[in-house]
Structure 1
Amino acid sequence: MELDPVTLARIQFATNISFHILFPTINIAMAWVLLFFKMRFRQTGDQGWMDAYGFWVKIFALSFALGVVSGVTMSFQFGTNWPGYMQTVGNIAGPLLAYEILTAFFLEAGFLGIMLFGRSKVSEGVHTLATFLVAFGNTVSAFWILALNSWMQTPTGFVMRDGRAHVVSWLEVIFNPTLPYQLTHMLLASGLTVAFLIAGLSAYRYLRGERGRGVMVALKSGVFLAALLIPVQMFVGDMSGLNTLKHQPAKLAAIEGIWHTEKDVPLLLFALPNAETRSNDYALGVPQLGSLILTHTWGGEIKGLNEFEHHPPVAKVFWSFRVMVGMGMLMLLVSWLAAWQLKKRGELPQALARVLVGMTFAGWIATLAGWFVTEIGRQPWLVTGVLTTAQAAGHATAPMLFTSLSTYLALYALLLTAYISVLFYLARKAGSHELAHEPQLKEKLA
């Protein structure tokens, strides 16, 4: 792949958005989980729920800070690397981004201080309300961002005049054909990311000998949440596939590695898509199952990539999708097995607890793979049928972009390493603090 300025700009934006998306993916669902912990504490009076809240709110605060900072950095690139984007569709993108700030960011930022530091200064009811408003603000923020992104996938509700997009119906812009599926899929992905994060770090504490109520209620909450959400996510993914077949057939053909229009399409388990021969090498598939899954009919016809003048790079989309699905299947197996063990025995086998620790960031892997499918699958378009990526690119030179990209990569690697290290440090510190006070606690109880 030639590293021309457009390619470097794409890699730089992909680097920024890949790093940024890690933290909103945690924040969206984590805020609702914290609200759940708080509500359970108020309902039962069980201090374990509040202990869980106290530990996980620290991780929420850290994730929120990194999400905000990385989001600001990412937004600069609209002007520096992609000026053609705002010049062409700024009448749509600008207001949607502004709505996100006015209706969501101010709300969550305004009540975040009360949520983090105000429990001793306000009533329990006000503190619970602040937690709810932060959670609600995070979700509203996701709605506006995904409204814009889904519009870029399936643009509706506008007309082009003098090379610029003008809105004719905000309802059609916002509630475009892709939004319901992309929004639901992302919210569920956030839930699964948080579920495995909570289960993994709690399992880490569990293996260190911690069996306090705060650890156990968090562990069970993470495992049961994952076990509940993963089959729902698979159903929504299937519905999203039908939507993609209807509105983005070139993306679907790339996902499944289908070069020629055909019926009785096999479900490819393994293949090496070959762009030169426009075929798949070493293909291994299940006959007809592809048609059944993709069209919900035996022998359904799927339009191949050869039918399209423009289509995305096949190998990247093909393998990103299989990483996402493979991780989803592993999530299903592990979460159901862990849920069964916790339900039956009230504890986890050591080996299964170690697996959960290993899957602490499984949600990140699945989310990034799914995001690559969504974004690379739209190429060469930045806004489908309206604006190509090359048309939106600015005039930054390759050396300038390479220097800034190298800086971003080094900084993000450092920040990500520090973030993960801090998470496990907080887990060890919380455990040491609880164990240090355990003799005094037993003495008081005696």
Structure 2
Amino acid sequence: MNAEILVRIQFALGIACHIVFPAITIGLAWLLVYFEVRWRRSGEAHWQALYRLWACVFTISFFFGIVTGILQGVQLGSNFSPFLHATQHILGPLRWAEGWPLLLVQCTAIAIMLFGWRRPGRQTHFIATLLIALLLTNAAFWILAANSWMQTPQGMRLENGQWLPEDWLAVIFNPSLPARLAHMLTAALLSTALVVAGVCGYRWRRQHTASSLQGLRTAVLALAILAPLQIVTGHYSAEVTSRHQPAKFAAMEGLWRSGEGVPLVLWAMPNTKSESNRYAVEIPHGGSLLLTKTWSGFVRGLDSFEPQDRPPVPIVFYSFRAMVVLGLWFLGLGLFGAWQHIYGRLEHSRRYMRLLAWSSPLGFVATILGWIVTEVGRQPWIVSGLMRTSEGITRTALIENVAGSLQLMIGAYALMFVLYIYLMWWALRTSGTKRVADDWRQSWEREEHAIE
């Protein structure tokens, strides 16, 4: 165990904890837009109750995301100073465009979402909700543009040890951005739909309210649409990876040998010493057929790369398969739920709602697994083909200091996790009671009467 390994463990832990909050806030932001549109058009109180419930959850998640994002910035500054020095002219503007200058605007819009029901007015309230969704999507675009440039860098030149941009369009719209942006945004919406379905299903089993039923139906139908879309965008992302990051793709698929007509490895136990797969379950020619659309298409394997240029195969291989299994599970949940809804059985299927409740956190597990595949699969490069991770880590980092900060970080994230779970429990419990729903309905009726 050395300072470099500890730094990488620390950053991996930080990004795994942080990615959950942008995912749920992006998904909830667009769901809140939908709830408000339905409320404005129908005037039904249960849509307003759904909005208020999930607006509270959104706000808590948003501010936890800010805190974990700040901690990630501190880690970058203290542990990756050579990397930041070399890439500051490219990643600096991209991180600036991510949305930190607009943080005050976002906080103001959230205040209007929570408290601006009568003043400054209905239109302003809807604009605030829509603005939040657009700003968070904008932030996702820029952070993925920065990370995708690290995966597939282009549009720059090296001068005095720093990369300077030559073509900003090439930097931003690098080859891996479109696929990764579509896949990540779909993952955020899908993960949020799972949470909403699980919570609303649980509330419907405990207390039959119109808001719980509508939330359950909305989330299940969203899941039925998003799960197949997630598989399509995932396949597209894998095709882009095979073209531009063949070492990562070979690790994902467990392909040790280059060749024509390569098999599709469903399951195996990769052995890095013998460079082979043990107990492999394969589909002959399946890899070439799926990737090149031909029976005998050529696919590069790990033998095309020097051992020091290969990613850690077992981590990438197992994480990718776990993510695929979860994706298929979400597909089954969504299609079965849609079938139940079409035939009017959804609200009576208690076993299905239990499955939704137990599956509600799995969307974030799949998201974290996706980031493991993306980031570990890029190793040993911090900027693919240009800068190794070992070169980007602060050379003065002492193992004692890093180990101490890692322990503090684990304690801090554990406390934040406990606090977040408690606040979520409080928000969902208090906002889910019939009394509070009745208060919101009466408040809405008073506002309607005042406007008339």
TM-score between both structures, scaled by the size of structure 1: 0.95
Counterpart in the other structure of 1:74: 72
Residue of 282, 285, 295 corresponding to 2:282: 285
Residue of 212, 215, 225 corresponding to 2:209: 212
User: Which stretch has the larger CA shift, 338-347 or 62-71?
Assistant: 338-347
SS of match in other structure, 2:262: coil
CA-to-aligned-CA distance 1:69-99 (integer Å, 9 cap, x gap): 1101110112200001111111101111111
CA-to-aligned-CA distance 1:179-202 (integer Å, 9 cap, x gap): 101111100000001100100111
Confirm or deny: 8 A CA contact 2:431 2:437 kept in the other structure. no
Confirm or deny: 8 A CA contact 1:342 1:348 kept in the other structure. no
Distance, in Å, in 1 between the alignment partners of 2:428 and 2:109 is: 26
CA-to-aligned-CA distance 1:134-184 (integer Å, 9 cap, x gap): 110000000110000000000010000121101101111001011101111
User: Which stretch has the larger CA shift, 259-268 or 87-96?
Assistant: 259-268
Counterpart in the other structure of 2:299: 302
Cα 1:435–1:172, aligned 2, differ >3 Å: closer, same or farther? closer
SS of match in other structure, 2:99: helix
Cα 1:301–1:386, aligned 2, differ >3 Å: closer, same or farther? same
Cα 1:125–1:437, aligned 2, differ >3 Å: closer, same or farther? closer
Counterpart in the other structure of 2:187: 189
Cα 1:391–1:362, aligned 2, differ >3 Å: closer, same or farther? same
Cα 1:248–1:24, aligned 2, differ >3 Å: closer, same or farther? same
Counterpart in the other structure of 2:218: 221
Distance, in Å, in 2 between the alignment partners of 1:103 and 1:147 is: 18
Give the drift of 1:437: 5.9
CA-to-aligned-CA distance 1:248-270 (integer Å, 9 cap, x gap): 11110000000110222222121
Amino acid of the residue matched to residue 144 of structure 1?
W
User: Which stretch has the larger CA shift, 141-150 or 232-241?
Assistant: 232-241
Q: Which runs of 5+ in 2 are unaligned?
A: 443-452
Distance, in Å, in 2 between the alignment partners of 1:424 and 1:205 is: 12
Counterpart in the other structure of 1:177: 175
Distance, in Å, in 2 between the alignment partners of 1:337 and 1:434 is: 33
Counterpart in the other structure of 2:312: 313
Amino acid of the residue matched to residue 381 of structure 1?
W
Amino acid of the residue matched to residue 294 of structure 1?
L
Residue of 268, 271, 274 corresponding to 2:271: 274
- Asked whether 1:416 is paired with 2:428, we answer no
CA-to-aligned-CA distance 1:23-76 (integer Å, 9 cap, x gap): 000011210100100001111111111110010000000000100011011101
What is the Cα-based RMSD across aligned positions, in Å?
A: 1.9
SS of match in other structure, 1:93: helix
Confirm or deny: 8 A CA contact 2:85 2:162 kept in the other structure. yes
Counterpart in the other structure of 1:354: 354
Amino acid of the residue matched to residue 89 of structure 1?
T
Amino acid of the residue matched to residue 331 of structure 1?
F
Amino acid of the residue matched to residue 339 of structure 2?
W
Cα 1:102–1:12, aligned 2, differ >3 Å: closer, same or farther? closer
**Structural mapping, 1:315-354, within 5 Å:** 315-345=314-344, 346-354=346-354
SS of match in other structure, 1:283: strand
Amino acid of the residue matched to residue 364 of structure 2?
W
4+ residue runs over 4 A deviation: 435-438
Confirm or deny: 8 A CA contact 1:104 1:141 kept in the other structure. no
Distance, in Å, in 1 between the alignment partners of 2:432 and 2:114 is: 21
Residue of 133, 136, 142 corresponding to 2:134: 136
SS of match in other structure, 2:179: helix
Cα 1:313–1:397, aligned 2, differ >3 Å: closer, same or farther? same
CA-to-aligned-CA distance 1:268-306 (integer Å, 9 cap, x gap): 121111111111111111222122122222222211101
**Structural mapping, 1:12-51, within 5 Å:** 12-51=10-49
Distance, in Å, in 2 between the alignment partners of 1:379 and 1:104 is: 33
Amino acid of the residue matched to residue 217 of structure 2?
K
Cα 1:364–1:348, aligned 2, differ >3 Å: closer, same or farther? farther
Amino acid of the residue matched to residue 317 of structure 1?
V
SS of match in other structure, 1:377: helix
CA-to-aligned-CA distance 1:379-430 (integer Å, 9 cap, x gap): 0000011111100111221121111112212221232233234323433333
Aligned length: 438
Confirm or deny: 8 A CA contact 1:105 1:138 kept in the other structure. no
Amino acid of the residue matched to residue 415 of structure 1?
M
Counterpart in the other structure of 1:241: 238
Confirm or deny: 8 A CA contact 1:109 1:134 kept in the other structure. no
Counterpart in the other structure of 1:365: 365
Counterpart in the other structure of 1:4: 2
SS of match in other structure, 1:271: strand
Counterpart in the other structure of 1:252: 249
CA-to-aligned-CA distance 1:336-388 (integer Å, 9 cap, x gap): 11221122125141111110000111110110001100111100000011111
Q: Which runs of 5+ in 1 are unaligned?
A: 442-446
